[in-house]
C-alpha cells in the first residue's frame, strides 16, 4: 500500500505566513462507560436518518433500525444526552474568554469545525458561537467534510482573513451518537470533545503561546469502502498516510534536527504512535489520551499538549502536530510552542494575560 | 460601471446543475401525502408548484452529475483543479461521519488537490462564502489554474421540511462551478457577507420561526444596501438580481423596501424548479445570469438563509 500512497504526494499550496495562537482552551466531558460500538443512544436524535434520504447518510454497515452493536465495556469522554455539538463548542470558547475576556472585542471572525451531525435538523454551530460570545463578526463559517482532520485546513483558511490587531476564534467539536460508529476495535475509539483557540497574525510585541510555522494537508482516499475495509488494511493505510504527510512537512525543513522535535497526534493507540515515531526517527509524546481519538478537536488538544511540554521544559518546543482521518484527509503542522504560557481552568494563555 | 468596484482576476468558466428525476407537481404529491389542501393552495398562491426529489442518489453521485455537465474549453481541465470547495444547506445532506464527499470526488475525478473543504451552517449563504475563499486561494496561487466549487442538498424530514409555507418547496439538487483565471464567462466582483447570528437556531420552533419571518427581509435589505455601498454600484444598475428560488413574498417586500421594480429580480425558476438550496446559485446563473452577462450587464447573485446568514456577489461581464 505504501507505494500506491507515495504516488499521491500530499500538497501544501504555498509556505504560509506564521500563524500565532494567543490563547487555547479544551473541554472534555466526563468519561462514561459504553457497551456498544456505536455512539451514544439518544432516542430523540436523528429520526430523519431513517427516512429514504437517510440511506446515504448512515454507515452502510449498520442496518436500518440498529442502534447498538455489542462490545466489551469501555470508557470515553461522553457528552450528556441533551448537550448538543454547539453546546460543546460554545463551552470551550467560553472557557477561553473567561481566561482572557479582554480578547473578546478583538475577535473579527469565527471558524468552526466538526465532522459529526448535530442532533437537531436545523441550526448553525458557527453562528451559535458568534451569538453566544462575539455579537458581530465580519465572517463566521463552519468548515467540514474533512473527517476528524479538519483543523489544519481551518487554520489555512482563517489566515486568509487575518487582520492586524484582530483575532480569529477557531473551534472544533464532535459528539458521537448512534447509528454512527464510535469505536472500531483495532483502529480507534472516538471521544466527545471540544476545543477552541484565538489565532491571528504574528505581530511585533505580541505574546503568542504557540506559532504554526507550516501546514501540509493531504487528501488520499482510502482504497475501498470505509465501512467494509478490514481493520488491518485501515490501520496500514492510516499509518502510511500519516507517515507520508509528516515526511512531506519535514522535507520542507531540511535543517530541523529530528531528535529535537516531538510528534503529537491523534489517539490511535501507543503502538501506532510508536511505529510512526520509529519510522520517522522523531520522538513521540502522547496526546491527552493515547488510546482515545478526541475527534475534530484532537489537533487542538495536541497543540495544548505541546504548550504544556514547552512550559514544563521551560524552553521553546518544536513539535509536529499530526492528524489523520478515516475519511482520507490528513495534515501535519510544524508548531513552535513558546515557554512561559500559563494554564488556568483548562485554558492556556501568555503569562501576564490571565484575567484577574 | 463604478470605478469603485473591487474586482478579482478570477472568474467563472462555467456553471452547471443537476436536479434528480422529473419535476413533481406539488398538487398531485400533496394529495398522495395527505397534505392539507389549504397549505398547497398557499404555496400555489406564492408561485410554488414543481420540485425535485432524489432519495436514491448519494451526494457524490449527484454532484458528479452536475460536474459532468460542465462545458469547459479545456479537455483536460480536471487535471488543473487544485482547490475543491463544497457547500451545503441541509445539515444532514452528507455521508456518514467521518466519510467525506471531498475524498469521494477527488477519487472519482483523479483530482490533485492542494486544499479542499466544505462550507456549511450558513444555509444558502454557504456557497458564496465558499466561492469567496476559493477565489482568494486561487488568486494567491500563481501555479493553480482552477478551483471547483460544488454543492449538494437532499431534503430530510418528509413533507414537514419539504414544504416551507407560505412560499417555499425545497428541491434536491446539486451544482458545479469552475473558477478560473482564463477563458471565463464572467469575472467575480465584490462579495459581501453578513451573519445576523441571533437567528442561529433556524426555524426549529414557533419562536424562531416567527423571528426568522420578522427579520429575514430586513436583513436582506440591509445586506443589499451594504453591498451597493461597498461596490459603488446602484442596485438599479444590475441587469437583474438572482435570488434563491424561495419565498417570493419576501422578495416582493425586499423590492418594495429598496424601491426596485419586481422585474428587477429573476423569479422564473420559482414555480418550475423549487428551491434547490445552494444549487440555486448555479441554476439561476446558467438559466439567466450568463445571458445577461453576455449582453454586457452586471448580475448580482444572492444567498439568503433561515439561520441569519446572507451573502451577495457581483458578477461582471468579462
Residue A346's region, left for phi above 0, alpha for psi from -120 to 50, else beta, is left
A127: contact with B, CB 8 A cutoff: yes
For chains A and B, count residue pairs whose Cβ atoms are closer than 8 Å: 205
CA-based Rg of chain A, rounded to a whole angstrom?
Answer: 19
Query: Do the first three CATH levels of B11-180 and B186-317 match, i.e. the same topology?
Result: yes
- Give the torsion through C-alpha atoms of B167, B169, B173, B175, to 10 deg: 0
- Cα separation, A178 vs A180, in Å, equals 5
- Cα separation, B22 vs B52, in Å, equals 7
Of B82, B115, B154, the CB nearest to A53: B154
Of A13, A141, A146, the CB nearest to B141: A13
Distance from CA of B238 to the nearest CA of A (A): 25
- Give the torsion through C-alpha atoms of A58, A63, A66, A71, to 10 deg: -100
Contacts of B150 in chain A (CB under 8 A): none
User: What's the pLDDT score for residue A15?
Assistant: 60
Helix (H), strand (E), coil (C) string for A235-252: HHHHHHHHHHHHHHHHHC
Question: How far apart, in Å, do the first and last CA atoms of chain B sit?
Answer: 13
Exposure string over B251-265, b if 16+ CB within 10 A, otherwise e: bbbbbeebebeeebb
C-alpha cell, B68: 459532468
Residue of A nearest to B57 (CA): A56
Contacts of B116 in chain A (CB under 8 A): 145-146, 153, 219
Do residue A123 and residue B91 have CB atoms under 8 angstroms apart?
Answer: yes
Distance from CA of A282 to the nearest CA of B (A): 26
Q: How many residues does chain A have?
A: 356
A325: contact with B, CB 8 A cutoff: yes
Tell the burial category of A142 from Cβ atoms under 10 Å away from its Cβ (0-12, 13-18, 19+). Answer: buried
Helix (H), strand (E), coil (C) string for A167-236: EEEEEEEECCECCCECEECCCEEECCEEEEEEEEECCCCCCCCEEEEEEEEEECCCCCCCCCCCHHHHHH
User: What's the pLDDT score for residue A65?
Assistant: 83
Q: Domain B11-180 is of which CATH architecture?
A: 3-Layer(aba) Sandwich (3.40)
Of B56, B57, B121, the CB nearest to A141: B121
* Three-state DSSP class for residue A83: coil
* Three-state DSSP class for residue A305: helix
Q: How many residues does chain B have?
A: 318
Kind and range of the H or E run holding A110: strand A107-113
A139: contact with B, CB 8 A cutoff: yes
Tens digit of pLDDT per residue, chain B (318 long)?
A: 444 566 778 999 999 999 999 999 999 999 998 899 999 999 999 999 999 999 889 999 999 999 999 999 999 999 999 999 999 999 999 999 999 999 999 999 999 999 999 999 999 999 999 999 999 999 999 999 999 999 999 998 778 889 999 999 999 999 999 999 999 999 999 999 999 999 999 988 899 989 988 999 999 999 999 999 999 999 999 999 999 999 999 999 999 999 999 999 999 999 999 999 999 999 999 999 999 999 999 999 999 999 999 999 999 999
With a cut of 50, which residues of chain A have pLDDT below it? 1-7, 12-14, 355-356
Q: Within the 274-313 window of chain A, which residues sit less than 8 Å (CB to CB) from chain B?
A: none
- Cα separation, A174 vs A243, in Å, equals 25
Fold classification of B186-317 (topology level): Peroxisomal Thiolase; Chain A, domain 1 (3.40.47)
Do residue A146 and residue B117 have CB atoms under 8 angstroms apart?
Answer: yes
Q: Within the 143-202 window of chain A, which residues sit less than 8 Å (CB to CB) from chain B?
A: 143-148, 150, 153-154, 156-157, 160, 174, 180
Q: Which residue ranges make up each domain of chain B?
A: 11-180, 186-317
Of B58, B98, B158, the CB nearest to A148: B98
- Cα separation, A21 vs A8, in Å, equals 31
- Cα separation, B78 vs A229, in Å, equals 28
pTM as predicted: 0.96
Question: Mutate which of B10, B99, B157 to test chain A, going by most A C-beta atoms within 10 A?
Answer: B99
Do residue B100 and residue A116 have CB atoms under 8 angstroms apart?
Answer: no
Contacts of B195 in chain A (CB under 8 A): 127, 130, 137, 139-140
- Cα separation, B307 vs B294, in Å, equals 34
- Give the torsion through C-alpha atoms of B87, B92, B96, B98, to 10 deg: 50
For chain A, give percent helix, strand, coil, nearest 5. 30, 30, 40
Instruction: Tell me the ipTM for this assembly.
Output: 0.96
Do residue B122 and residue A137 have CB atoms under 8 angstroms apart?
Answer: no
CATH number of A24-201: 3.40.47.10
Angle (deg, nearest 10), helices B206-231 and B248-258: 40
Do residue B112 and residue A160 have CB atoms under 8 angstroms apart?
Answer: no
Q: Which residue ranges make up each domain of chain A?
A: 2-18+209-350, 24-201
Q: Domain A2-18+209-350 is of which CATH architecture?
A: 3-Layer(aba) Sandwich (3.40)
Of B156, B200, B309, the CB nearest to A121: B156
- Cα separation, A243 vs A246, in Å, equals 5
| CB-CB contact of B315 with B187 (8 Å) | yes
pLDDT digits (tens, 9 = 90+) for B221-264: 999 999 999 999 999 999 999 999 999 999 999 999 999 999 99
Amino acid at each position: 500500500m505504501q507505494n500506491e500512497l507515495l504516488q499521491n504526494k500530499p500538497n501544501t499550496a504555498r509556505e504560509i505566513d506564521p500563524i500565532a495562537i494567543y490563547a487555547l482552551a479544551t473541554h472534555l466531558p466526563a468519561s462514561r462507560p459504553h457497551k456498544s460500538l456505536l455512539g451514544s443512544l439518544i432516542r430523540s436524535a436523528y429520526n430523519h436518518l431513517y427516512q429514504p434520504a437517510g440511506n446515504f447518510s448512515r454507515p452502510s454497515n449498520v442496518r436500518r433500525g440498529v442502534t447498538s452493536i455489542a462490545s466489551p465495556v469501555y470508557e470515553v469522554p461522553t457528552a450528556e444526552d441533551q448537550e448538543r455539538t454547539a453546546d460543546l463548542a460554545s463551552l470551550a470558547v467560553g472557557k477561553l474568554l473567561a481566561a482572557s475576556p479582554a480578547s473578546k472585542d478583538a475577535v473579527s471572525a469565527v471558524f468552526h469545525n466538526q465532522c459529526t451531525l448535530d442532533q437537531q435538523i436545523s441550526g448553525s454551530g458557527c453562528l451559535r458561537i458568534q451569538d453566544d460570545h462575539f455579537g458581530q463578526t465580519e465572517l463566521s463559517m463552519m468548515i467540514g467534510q474533512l473527517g476528524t482532520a479538519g483543523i489544519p485546513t481551518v487554520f489555512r483558511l482563517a489566515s486568509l482573513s487575518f487582520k492586524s490587531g484582530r483575532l480569529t476564534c477557531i473551534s472544533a467539536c464532535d459528539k458521537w451518537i448512534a447509528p454512527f460508529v464510535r469505536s472500531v476495535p483495532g483502529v480507534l475509539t472516538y471521544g466527545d470533545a471540544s476545543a477552541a483557540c484565538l489565532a491571528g497574525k504574528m505581530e511585533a510585541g505580541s505574546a503568542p503561546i504557540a506559532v504554526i510555522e507550516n501546514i501540509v494537508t493531504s487528501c488520499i482516499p482510502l482504497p475501498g469502502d470505509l465501512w467494509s475495509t478490514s481493520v488491518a488494511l485501515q490501520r496500514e493505510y492510516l499509518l502510511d498516510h500519516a507517515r507520508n504527510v509528516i515526511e512531506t512537512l519535514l522535507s520542507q525543513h531540511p535543517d530541523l534536527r529530528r531528535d529535537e522535535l516531538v510528534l503529537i497526534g491523534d489517539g490511535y493507540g501507543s503502538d501506532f504512535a510508536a511505529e510512526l515515531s520509529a519510522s520517522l526517527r522523531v520522538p513521540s509524546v502522547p496526546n491527552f489520551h493515547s488510546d482515545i481519538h478526541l475527534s475534530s478537536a484532537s489537533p487542538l488538544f495536541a497543540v495544548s499538549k505541546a504548550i504544556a511540554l514547552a512550559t514544563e521544559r521551560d524552553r521553546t518546543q518544536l513539535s509536529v502536530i499530526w492528524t489523520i482521518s478515516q475519511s482520507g484527509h490528513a495534515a501535519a503542522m510544524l508548531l513552535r510552542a513558546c515557554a512561559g504560557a500559563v494554564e488556568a481552568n483548562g485554558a492556556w494563555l501568555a503569562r501576564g494575560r490571565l484575567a484577574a | 460601471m463604478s470605478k469603485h468596484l473591487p474586482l478579482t482576476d478570477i472568474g467563472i468558466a462555467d456553471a452547471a446543475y443537476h436536479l434528480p428525476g422529473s419535476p413533481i407537481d406539488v398538487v398531485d404529491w400533496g394529495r398522495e401525502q395527505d397534505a392539507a389542501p389549504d397549505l398547497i393552495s398557499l404555496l400555489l398562491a406564492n408561485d410554488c408548484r414543481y420540485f425535485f426529489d432524489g432519495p436514491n442518489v448519494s451526494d457524490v453521485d449527484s454532484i458528479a452529475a452536475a460536474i459532468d455537465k460542465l462545458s469547459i474549453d479545456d479537455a483536460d481541465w480536471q487535471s488543473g483543479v487544485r482547490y475543491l470547495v463544497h457547500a451545503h444547506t441541509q445539515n444532514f445532506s452528507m455521508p456518514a461521519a467521518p466519510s467525506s464527499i471531498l475524498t469521494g470526488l477527488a477519487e472519482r475525478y483523479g483530482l490533485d488537490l492542494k486544499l479542499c473543504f466544505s462550507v456549511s451552517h450558513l444555509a444558502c449563504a454557504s456557497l458564496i462564502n465558499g466561492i469567496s475563499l476559493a477565489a482568494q486561494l486561487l488568486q494567491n496561487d500563481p501555479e493553480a489554474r482552477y478551483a471547483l466549487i460544488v454543492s449538494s442538498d437532499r431534503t430530510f424530514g418528509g413533507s414537514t421540511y419539504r414544504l416551507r409555507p407560505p412560499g417555499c418547496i425545497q428541491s434536491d439538487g446539486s451544482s458545479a462551478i469552475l473558477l478560473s483565471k482564463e477563458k471565463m464567462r464572467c469575472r467575480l466582483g465584490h462579495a459581501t457577507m453578513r451573519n445576523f447570528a441571533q437567528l442561529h437556531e433556524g426555524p426549529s420552533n414557533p419562536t424562531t420561526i416567527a423571528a426568522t419571518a420578522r427579520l429575514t427581509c430586513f436583513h436582506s435589505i440591509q445586506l443589499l444596501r451594504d453591498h451597493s455601498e461597498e461596490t459603488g454600484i446602484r442596485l438599479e444598475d444590475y441587469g437583474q438580481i438572482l435570488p434563491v428560488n424561495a419565498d417570493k413574498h419576501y422578495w416582493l417586500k425586499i423590492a418594495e423596501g429598496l424601491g426596485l421594480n419586481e422585474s428587477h429580480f429573476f423569479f422564473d425558476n420559482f414555480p418550475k424548479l423549487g428551491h434547490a438550496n445552494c444549487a440555486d446559485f448555479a441554476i439561476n446563473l446558467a438559466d439567466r445570469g450568463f445571458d445577461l452577462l453576455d449582453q454586457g450587464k452586471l448580475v448580482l447573485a444572492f444567498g439568503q438563509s433561515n439561520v441569519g446568514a446572507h451573502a451577495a456577489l457581483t458578477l461582471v461581464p468579462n
